[in-house]
Structure 1
Amino acid sequence: MSRASLSHQDFAQRWHERAAKGKESADYPLHWTDLCRLVDHPTPQEAPPEWDYGFQRSVRKVGTRDQGFADVFKAGHFIAEYKGFGKDLGAALQQATLYARELGSPPLIITSDMSRIEVNTAFTGTSPKTYRVTLDDVASNRVIAGSDFHALDVLHSALWKPETLDPRLLRERVTTDATRRIGAVARALTARTNDRTRSAHLMMRLVFAMFAEDVGLLERGLLSQILERARQYPERSLTYFQELFTAMQHGGEFWGKDVRHFNGGLFDSGDALAITAQDAEALLAAAQLDWAEVEPSIFGALFEDSLDTAVRSKRGAHYTSVTDIERIVDRVVLEPLWREWHEVKTEIAVLKRPHKRVERLLTFQQRLAQVRVLDPACGSGNFLFVALKKLLDLEHEVRAAAFVNEAGPFDIPPLVHPRQMLGIEIEPFAHELASITLWIGYFQWKRAHGGNWETPVLQRLDGLQRRDALLTPEGTEAAWPAAEFIVGNPPFLGDKFMRQRLGGEYTLALRGVYGDRLPAQSDLACYWPEKARAAIAAGSSQRAGFVATNSIRGGKNRTVLERIKATGDLFMAWPDEPWAQDGAAVRVSLFAFDGGQEQLRTLNGQATPDINADLSARADVNRAEPLVENRGTAFVGAMKKGKFDIPGALARQWLQLPNPDGACNGDVLKPWVNGMDLTRTPSDRWIVDFNLMTQAEAARYLAPYEYVRTQVKPDRDRVANRLERERWWQHARTAPDLRQAIQPLPRFIGIPRVAKHLLPVWLTPPRVVDGQVVVVARDDDFTFGVLASSIHRTWARAQGTYMGVGNDLRYTPSTCFETFPFPRPAGDQRAEVEKWARYVVQLREHLLAQDEGATLTGLYNAVAQLRAEPDASHPAAALATAHDRLDASVAAAYGWEWSLSEDEVLARLLALNLERASAVTAPA
C-alpha cells in the first residue's frame, strides 16, 4: 500500500504547535500515525493481519480484576504507552512494564507525551537503556545523547528493527576494547614483576575504579588525575595507588575528595604495584571509555581470558555465550518462578483490599529473596550474573505491581541481592573476578532503576567459594552448598587429556571416588551433572542445567544422562549446537533436569513427550543390545604410538635392501592406511610393523630396526606404560584379533572412525590399518552395500558420537556395528543389493579418475548438495541416484516399503535388534 510520508521538520513543527492543547486520548493515534509516516512504517490499519499489530491491545492489569489496554502493540517488537503533554513518562514506563510479560515480553517499550519519545530497551539478559528523543532532536536529526544513533535512526529502528538498539551491540564493542587495553598492561606488568596474581588484582581494582567513576560511586575524573600524575612521575605511582586503595578500603578523604567506603574484599588492603609511564598512558586511554556501559555477561570472560588463557586452557574452561546461558537460566531458574508469579497475579486479581494485595506481593518478594542459584564451575561469573539480572527484573515487576495496587504512593525496597548467587571456582583470579562481575552488573541495574548505594559499597560474597568442586584436599568427595537451582558450564576436558592436564594423582583419585557412579572413561564435564543429580535426589536442590560438549550424548559419557533419567528426568535439551571458543569451533549440548516433576519437556525449543538419554526424542536406540551374529567382525585398527610410518619412496628403497641372514624387509614393511587416506588423497605412507616379533627377531631387519630404534625408542623411553617402554619396537596395540579375522580374506571393509560422511571402502592385504579406521572383516558385496546405505548411516549416527565443528560422526564398532541388525534377504533381494553396491564403487572410482584432485569427501559433499539442490547435469548426480537405488534395495531386503523417515527407520531397527537379542537369550 502506498503511504504518504512526513518530513522530520514537518513532524516536529506540527507537534510543537499541538503541545499546549493536545489531549492524550484524542491525540495519541494521530501522533502514532505521524510517527509511522515519518519512518515510512505502516499504521495498525495498514499492516497485514499476521503482524499482530494494533491500537488498544487488551491485557489484564496485574493485581486487579480489570482489563488494561496497551496503547500500541506490535508482537515481537514493542509496546507503546502514551501520556498527556508534560506528564510523567516514568509512570507510563511502569504501566507498560506490567503489560509486557502478558504480551510476550517484546524487546522495546516506547513511551511518549507527544513532545518527547523515549525508547526503552527490554532485551532479556541485558541492563536496560533509554534513548530520549525530543521534537528538537527530530527537527535537526541530531545524535541522541549516550548513543551513536541520530534521532531518526532511533525511531526507524524502534518500529522496524528493534534488534539494532540492543545495548549488547554497543557494550560488546566497549567491553572488547576495554579488556584488550587493560589486558595488554596486565601482561606487561606480569612480565616485569613475575607476579601474575598481584598484577591481575591491581588491574581488577583499577577497572572497578574506572567503573565506579562512570556510575557516580567515585568522583568523576579522580582516577584520570592519578594516572596522569603517574604518567609524569611513574616512580610515585605505587604511593598514589596505595593511598587511593586505602581510602576506598575504609572510606575517607583522598586528594581533597571524599571517597566512599568500598571494601568487600576487593579493597581490603592498600596493596599495589608500581607502573611505568607507558602503562599509565595506556590506562589513561582505557579510562576514557564509558566503563558504565561494559556488558557484565562478557566482561568477566574477556578480562579473564586476556590475563589467564594458559590456566583456562589447562582445565578446559570455556566462555559461554549469553544466548546459551539464557536458554539454561530461563528454563531452570526463571520458569518455575514465572509460574509462581502468574499464580500470585491470579490471586491478587480477586482481592478487593489494596493492602491485602500488597501483603501477597510482599510475600512473593520474600520468596524471590530466598532463591539460591549455584554455579559449581562459575569461572568469571557469567551464569550467576544472568540469573541475578533476571531475578532483579522479576522482583522489579513485583515491586511495580505493589506500587500501582496501593491507594497512595507505596514503594517497597528491593531485596534481591548478589549474595543469593553461590559459586565454586578453583582458579583464584576467576574466583575474584566472579565477585566483580556480579557487583558491576548489580550496580548497573540499580543505576538504571534507581535506588540508594549501600555502605559499604561492596560486601564480601561468602557464597563464592574458592576450591575444587569435585574433591576435597583429602581426596574425598567435595560437598556443594544447598541451592534450589544449579546451572553452569563445566570444564570441557576429554578423559584422554585428564592425566596430562590435571595430573595422574588427581585423575586417579577422582575416578576412584566416583567410580561406582561414572565410568573411568567419562569426560571431566560429566562429574558436575552427576553431583547435581545426586543433590536433586537428596532434596538439597530442585532443578539443574548445564552446557557440555555434545559428546556427553554418547559412549561412556552417556552414563551420566542415563543416571539422571533413572532418578529424575530431562526436561530440556538442545543436543547439538555450534559453539565458537578461542578461535576453534566445537559442538555442544545444553540440557536441564529435575526429579521428574516438570511436565513441559522441550527438545530444540519444541514440546516433546520425552527426552532420551542421548538427548533425542526418537526411538531410544540406547536400549539396543549387541548381537551375536555381529560378534568378532568389526575392529578398531592398530595403534602405533610412535613414528613407525615412513614415506612410500623410502619403503620401496628398503624393500630392495638385503639383510645378513636373508630376511626380506617386505616382511615388516607394509602400506599404511589411516582415516584420511580413505576420505582424501592417499598419502603413500608405509609403516614398519614388527607385529609380535621379539627384539632379536626384529633386529634381523637392519634398516627398519635401526629407524625404529632412533626415531621411536627415545619417545617410548618416556611413556608411563611399562609394556610400551619395554617393547618399544612393537606398536602399542598390534590388534591380533583384527589380523586373525582378515587373514583369510582377499579384501575387507574399512570405515573412517571420524568423518563427515559414513564411507565404507574396500581394502586389500597386506595393508596395516591405523586406529582411526574401523575394519569390518567381511568380503561380500552385500555387507558393503548395507553398510553404505542410508539405513545403516541413520543407525550409526544415532548410536555414535560426534566430534569437531563439522559434527563429524565417530563410528564405534561396539555401538554402531555390533548392535546393527542386518537384513536377512531372499536370494533375489540379496543379489539386488550386491548389484547396486558394486555399481556405487564403480561410479566412485570413475569419478575420482576424472580429476586427480578429487576425494571421496568431495564427492559426497556434492551428493549432499544435490539432495538440497537437484541438478541432473552434475557429474555426481549418477552417484546420488545409485545411492537412492541402493537404499531402496536394502529396504526391500528388510521387507520394507521405501522411503521411510529416519525416526521410522530407527524404530524398526530397534524392534528388530531387541527381537533378535531376546531370541538368543530366551530359554530353550
Structure 2
Amino acid sequence: MNAVEIEEAISKLAEQPFDAEEFPFAFLEAFGNKATTIKRLRSGASNKSDVGGVLQTNNIHLMVAENGAVVEALAALKASPATTKARAKFILATDGKDFQAEDLNSGEVIVCNYPDFPDHFGFFLPLAGISTVKQIRESAFDIKATGRLNRLYIELLKDNPEWGTADRRHDMNHFMARLIFCFFAEDTDIFTEADQFTATIERMSEKDSSNTHEIISELFRSMNTKVADREKEGIARWANSFPYVNGGLFSESVDVPRFSKIARSYLLHIGNLDWKKINPDIFGSMIQAVADDEERGALGMHYTSVPNILKVLNPLFLDDLREKLEEAGDNARKLLNLRNRMAKIRVFDPACGSGNFLVIAYKEMRAIEAEINERRNETDRRSEIPLTNFRGIELRDFPAEIARLALIIAEYQCDVLYRGQREALRDFLPLDAMNWITCGNALRLDWLSICPPTGTGVKHHADDLFMSPIDQAEIDFENEGGETYICGNPPFKGTRKQKPHEKEDLQQVFGGLTSKWKNVDYVGAWLMKAALFNDVCHAPFSFVATNSICQGQQVPITWDLLLKRGFRIRFAHTSFTWSNLAANKAGVTVVVTGVDREAGGPRWIYSGENRREVANINPYLTEHNISVVPASRRPIFSKVAMDYGVYYSKSGGLILDSKDKDTLRQEGLPLHFVRRFLGSTEFINGKERFCLWIDDNELEEVSKYVGVRQRIESVRRDRLETDDKAVNKLAAKPHQFRERKGDDASKIFVPIVSSENREYFPAGLADATVVPTNKAFFISNGPLWALSVISSKLHLSWIDTICGRLRTDYSYSNTLGWNTFPLPSLTEKNKADLARCAEDILLAREAHFPATIADLYEVKDGEAMMPPDLRAAHDRNDEVLERVYIGRRFRNDTERLEKLFELYTKMTTANDLKRTNTRMKA
C-alpha cells in the first residue's frame, strides 16, 4: 500500500462506529497487513500481548482501554515486558473517544480525539514499511486531498469517457486545476465568503446531480468576466458575488464534465477539506499522478523532499545569498543591493514537472527578502521577486498547469506570511496573465527562447495563464545584469530503456557532438543542453541524475564533452537514495552535480551530512586529478584478456534447474552433456543452475533422448518467433547458445555484480564443468596473479570509481574495470608471490566449505563477518600487491586512487607518445 491508500483506509475506519473488539485488527489491516497475518493475530497464534491487547512483533502493541482510562492503558503498554521483548516500535491505546500513541524509538507522542487520529497517519507510516521524513509526516492534508481528487477524477471519467481521450485530456486536466484553485481560494479569503464555491454548488445544484456541470460552468464564466461586464454577459445573480480572477485560468472553454451523484458527493467532500493546509512543496508532485494513467497506480509516491531539493539549490545559489545577507548585517545600502540583485535572479527548471524546484526556490528567496525588509524596517513592502523569474519546461500539460498553480499558491502564502492577510488579498486578484511554464519537449525546444540572455528581449511568452504555445509574439522584458541558474530533476532512463523518440531526442542534442550519442543516459541530454545554453548566457547549472551519469561509459561520453568545453564541477553530492512514499519501494540512487565555467574558487564534495572543501572534483566525484577513463576493448597494461560469459537470450530450453537435470539423467543422458551455468547470483550465493552443452558432432547422439529433443525444438521455435532477424538465423543451431565459449579447463570467474558492503570483489576459479553466463566475466586459463589483483582492495577502489553501479552495488566491467586498471610491469617473482596469495585466499575459502561467498564476505550492521583466516589471506594479498606500487601499504582508498590515477595518466600518455613516434617513423 502507498501513503494515499493508507490515509483513505484509516479515514474510513475513523468514520465508522467504534468497535472495541475489532479496532486493533482493522487498524493493522489499514496499514497493509495481509488477511493471514490478521487471522493469526486474531486467533492468538502470533499475538504476544501480556496485557490483553494485540501485539505484533517488531511493529506495534495496541490496547482498547476502558472509558476514560487511555492514559493508564498507554502506561501499561509501555511498561509491558512483552513490548520490549517483541521490539515494538509503537504503542497505542484508545477508548473510542480519546486516542494516544507513542513512538518508542523517538519518544514522540500523539494525543487527540479518536475521530481526528487519521490526521496523524504519517506518524504510523513505518508500520507499512514506509521510511518517512518529517515533511511527509506533516503533510497529511496533501495526501488526503490527493486521494480524494483521484477518486473524483476516476468517477468523472466513468461518466465522461470522452474526457479521457487524447483530444479532451487537456480539458479534463484544466478543469481539475480550476477546481483546486477554487478550493484554495474559498478557504483563504480570496473569495469573499468561506466555503463560497462549495456551498454555492451544494445550494444551487440538484441533489440528483443533473445540473451540477451547469452550475460549475456558470461559476467559471463569472470568474472570467469583469464585474462591469457581467450584466451584459448575462451572468446569473447567484454567481455574481465571485471575484474576477482573470489570468487565463478560466478563459477558453467553460465546458464542464457531467456529474453523477457519487461525483457530486466527492466534490462536496473535497471542498469541505481545509485547503489552507495545502503545501505546494509536495502537493503538485503528488497530484500530477492523478491525470496520468500509468502513474495513478503509484499515487502518492511522487514526493520530492525539500531537503533533497535543497541539495541542489543551496550550493547552486541560495547559500551565497544567505552569506551575503549575513555579511550585510544591518547595513541598509548592502541590504538594498542584495534585494535588487535577488529581484533579477532567474531560476530555470527545464524538466520542472509540477514545479517543486521552482516553488522551493521562490519560497527560500522570499524568506531572505523578508529578512532584508525586516532589517530595513520595510515589512509591509510588496515583494520585488516576480514569479516571471521562475521558468520551467514540462512535457505533459497537467503537471505544467499544476506547476503554475503551485507558484501562484506559494506567492499568496508568502504574501500572507510576510505582509499579512490584508495586503496579500489586496494584490492577489486579478491574476497576472504572464506565464513562464512552457509545455513542450525540453530537448527539442530552444531554451534561449524561454529564458533568454539577460539584457535581451524575451521572445517566448504565453497570453494566458496555463497555455504556452511555442509560436508566441515578442514582448519587451529587460533583466539587465540579472543572474540565471538552471536546476531540476530530469527523467532517468538508461540506454537500454529508451524508446525510439527518446533516442531521437538524444540525437537532436548530441548528434553533431559525438558519434556515441546512442549510449548516453537520457538525463545526460539535459547536462549537454545546459552547457550549450552557457555558450550564450552564463548560467551555472545543477541537476539530480542517476549515479550512472558519473560512472562507466557515461563519463568518457558526456563529461568528456563538458570538460573540453571548459566546464568544471563546482559541487557534488555523492550517491544517495532518492526515495518516494511507496511502501517497500527501493528509491533510485542519484547524485547531484553543480557545474560552471568559473576558474578557481572553493569546490565542495557532500557525502551524507558531511561537506569538505577540495581543490578539484573530477567526473567520478572524487577530488583526484583525472579527467576521464574511456573504455578499452583490450587490456592496456597487461596481455591477460577478460571476456564476457555466454549470452543466453532465446535459449530457455537449454537451461536447466536441478530437477530438470535429474530428469534428463534418469533418461540416460550422459553427464558430460550438462554443465553448471553460473552468473553472479549463482556464484555468490552457491545456487545451482545448469545447461545443455552440445557440440555439432554430438547432436545426433543426444537427439535420441526425448527430453533433450523437446528442449532443442522449443529453442528453435522461440528463435523463429521473434522479429529479430539475427536471432532467426540462430534457429539453425537450436542445440547451442549464440556463443560457444567459456568451457575452458581452467578459468578465473569474475561476477558482474557484488554488494557494495563487501570489502573485496569476490572472484574465483572454475573448471571445465562450469560455463559462465553473460552475468559474469572470465579469463581463459588465467594466471593466478590476475586473480590476486582482482581480489585486492586496490582493484576494488578502481572499479568502485571507474565502473558503473547497479543502484549502489558494484557492477564490474571488463572494458573499464580490468582493461584500464593501471598495472605496473610485474617481475616473475612478483607474479609468483601474488599467485601464492591467490592460492591462500582460495584455500581459506575452501576450509569453510560449504559456506558460500555471500556467507564468507557477509557484513552485518556495518561489521565484516569474514573468518579470521580468510581476512588474513586478503590482508597478505593487499600488502604484497601494494608494495609493488609504492613499497609499502597504502593508508586508505584516497591514497590508492591518487596513485592509480597518477599511474594511469603517466602510462597512457607514454603509450600515446609511443604510438605517435611509431606513426612518424612509418
Scaled by the length of structure 1, what TM-score is found? Answer: 0.70
DSSP 3-state at the match of 2:241: strand
Q: Which residue of 1 aligns with 2:187?
A: 214
Task: Give the conservation status (yes or no) of the 8 Å contact 1:564–1:570.
Answer: no
Q: Is the 8 A contact 1:795 1:816 kept in 2?
A: yes
The answer to whether the aligner puts 1:907 opposite 2:898 as a matched pair is yes
In structure 1, what is the equivalent of residue 21 of structure 2? none
Question: What is the CA distance between 1:333 and its match in structure 2?
Answer: 3.2
Q: Is the contact made by 1:747 and 1:779 (CA closer than 8 Å) also made in structure 2?
A: yes
Q: Give the conservation status (yes or no) of the 8 Å contact 2:286–2:302.
A: no
**1:397-431 deviations in Å (ceiling 9; x for gaps):** 33334436xxxxx9543221222111111111111
Deviation sequence 1:303-362 (CA, Å, 0-9, x none)? 112442616999xx965321121121122232444466567x38x84xxxxxxx57x765
Mapped partners of 1:573, 1:649: distance in 2: 51
**Which aligned pairs between 1:361-376 and structure 2 lie closer than 5 A?**
364-376=338-350
**What's the counterpart of residue 710 of structure 1?**
714
Is 2:220 the partner of 1:245? yes
Deviations 1:378-407 (A, max 9, x none): 100001111111222233233334436xxx
After superposition, the C-alpha distances for 1:762-783 in whole angstroms (9 at most, x for unaligned) are 2222533221112123433322
Distance change in 2, residues 1:877/1:665 (3 Å): closer
Query: 1:498 maps to what in 2?
Result: 498
Answer yes or no: is the 8 Å Cα contact 2:626–2:905 preserved in 1: no
Question: Is residue 861 from structure 1 mapped to residue 858 from structure 2 by the alignment?
Answer: yes
Equivalent AA in structure 1 for residue 797 of structure 2 = T
Q: Relative to 1, partners in 2 of residues 1:733 and 1:467: Cα closer, same or farther, differing over 3 Å?
A: farther
In the TM superposition, residue 249 of structure 1 has moved relative to its aligned partner by: 1.9
CA distance, structure 1, for counterparts of residue 297 and residue 434 of structure 2: 26
Which residue of the partner structure matches residue 398 of structure 1?
372
After TM superposition, the structure 1 = structure 2 runs for residues 594-673 of structure 1, keeping only pairs within 5 Å, are: 594-597=596-599, 599-604=601-606, 605-620=611-626, 622-623=628-629, 627-631=635-639, 633-642=641-650, 643-644=652-653, 645-651=655-661, 653-654=663-664, 670-673=675-678
Say if 1:426 and 1:625 are closer, same or farther in 2 by CA, change over 3 A. Answer: closer
Tell me whether 1:386 sits opposite 2:356 in the alignment. no
Alpha carbons of 1:702 and 1:773: their partners in 2 closer, same or farther (altered >3 Å)?
A: same
Q: Cα offset for 1:296?
A: 0.8
Q: Is the 8 A contact 1:368 1:391 kept in 2?
A: yes
Distance 1:771 1:390 in 2: 50
From 758, 779, 801, the equivalent of 1:776 is 779
TM-superposed deviation, 1:801: 1.3
Aligned position for 2:571 = 572
CA–CA separation in structure 1 for the residues paired with 2:596 and 2:237: 53
Residue 246 (structure 2) aligns with: 263
Q: Would the alpha carbon gap of residues 310 and 515 (structure 1) be closer, same or farther in structure 2, given more than 3 Å must change?
A: farther
Matches within 5 A, 1:387-536: 387-403=361-377, 412-449=381-418, 450=420, 451-453=423-425, 454=427, 456-471=429-444, 481-482=451-452, 484-499=484-499, 503=501, 506=504, 509-510=507-508, 513=511, 516=514, 519-536=517-534
| Map 1:213-362 → 2, pairs under 5 A | 213-218=186-191, 219-226=193-200, 228-229=202-203, 232-250=207-225, 252=227, 255=238, 258-268=241-251, 269-308=253-292, 310=294, 319-338=303-322, 345=328, 349=331
Distance 1:731 1:503 in 2: 34
Q: What per-residue deviation string (whole Å, max 9, x for no partner) do you get for residues 275-325 of structure 1?
A: 2322333333333332112211110011112442616999xx965321121
Segments of structure 1 that go 5 or more residues without pairing to the other structure are: 1-141, 149-165, 350-356, 405-409, 659-663, 868-873
The equivalent residue for 2:143 is: 176
Q: Structure 1 residues 251 and 668 mapped into 2: Cα distance closer, same or farther (>3 Å)?
A: farther
Give the fraction of aligned pairs with identical amino acids, expressed as a percent.
20
Pick one of 552, 555, 559 that aligns with 2:552. Answer: 555
Question: What is the distance in 2 between the residues matched to 1:330 and 1:212?
Answer: 31
Q: Is the 8 A contact 1:296 1:441 kept in 2?
A: yes
Alignment TM-score, normalising by the size of structure 2: 0.70
| Cα distance in structure 2, aligned partners of 1:193 and 1:625 | 55
Q: Secondary structure at the match of 1:524?
A: coil
Are 1:798 and 2:773 an aligned pair?
Answer: no
1:651 deviation in Å?
A: 4.1
- Structure 2 CA distance, aligned partners of 1:895 and 1:167? 49
CA distance in 2: counterparts of 1:795 and 1:491, whole angstroms? 29
Q: 1:876 aligns with which of 860, 867, 874?
A: 867
Instruction: Assess, with a 3 A threshold, how the Cα gap between structure 1 residues 775 and 884 changes in structure 2: closer, same or farther.
Output: same
Counterpart mapping for 1:187-202 below 5 A: 187-194=154-161, 195-196=163-164, 197=169, 198-202=171-175
Q: What does residue 121 of structure 1 align with?
A: none
- The structure 2 residue matched to 1:540, chosen from 518, 521, 537, is 537
Aligned CA distance change for structure 1 residues 291 and 845 (closer, same or farther; 3 Å)? farther
Which residue of the other structure, out of 176, 199, 212, is the alignment partner of 1:203? 176
Judge conservation of contact 1:749–1:779 (CA < 8 Å) in 2: no
Mapped to 1, the partners of 2:726 and 2:575 lie a distance apart of 39
Structure 1 counterpart SS, 2:615: coil
> Quick check: 2:748–2:763 contact (8 Å CA) kept in 1?
no
Q: Please say if residues 468 and 478 of structure 1, whose CA atoms lie closer than 8 Å, have aligned partners that are also in contact.
A: no
Q: CA 1:335–1:899 in structure 2 vs 1: closer, same or farther (change >3 Å)?
A: closer
CA contact (8 A) 2:447 2:533 kept: no
Secondary structure, in 3 states, of the residue corresponding to 1:622?
coil
Amino acid of the structure 2 residue aligned with 1:718:
T
Equivalents in 1 of 2:910, 2:351: separation in Å? 47
Q: Tell me the secondary structure at the aligned position of residue 762 of structure 1.
A: strand
Aligned partner letter, 2:680: G
How far did residue 638 of structure 1 move?
Answer: 2.4
**Structure 1 residues 379 and 285: alpha-carbon distance in aligned structure 2, compared to 1, 3 A threshold:** same
In structure 2, relative to structure 1, the CA distance for the partners of 1:562 and 1:747 (3 Å cut) is closer
Q: Distance in 1 between matches of 2:450 and 2:571?
A: 23
In 2 relative to 1, CA 684–606 (structure 1 residues): closer, same or farther, beyond 3 Å? same
- Structure 1 counterpart of 2:92: none
CA 510–478 in structure 1, closer or farther in 2 if over 3 Å, else same: farther
Q: Does the C-alpha gap of structure 1 residues 859 and 524 become closer, same or farther in structure 2, counting only changes over 3 Å?
A: same
Deviation of 1:636 after TM superposition, in Å, equals 1.9
Cα distance change on mapping 1:591 and 1:690 into 2, 3 Å: farther
Distance (whole Å) between structure 1 residues aligned to residue 323 and residue 443 of structure 2 = 33
What's the CA shift string for 1:682-735, capped at 9, x where partnerless? Answer: 1323256779x999999999754643543564476334x421233346699967
- Shift of the alpha carbon at 1:900? 2.1
CA distance in structure 1 between the aligned counterparts of 2:768 and 2:891, rounded to whole angstroms: 38
CA contact (8 A) 2:572 2:592 kept: yes
1:4-58 Cα offsets, whole Å, 9 max, x none, are xxxxxxxxxxxxxxxxxxxxxxxxxxxxxxxxxxxxxxxxxxxxxxxxxxxxxxx
Q: Give the whole-Å Cα distance in 2 for the aligned partners of 1:690 and 1:460.
A: 74
Deviation at 1:788, TM superposition (A): 1.1
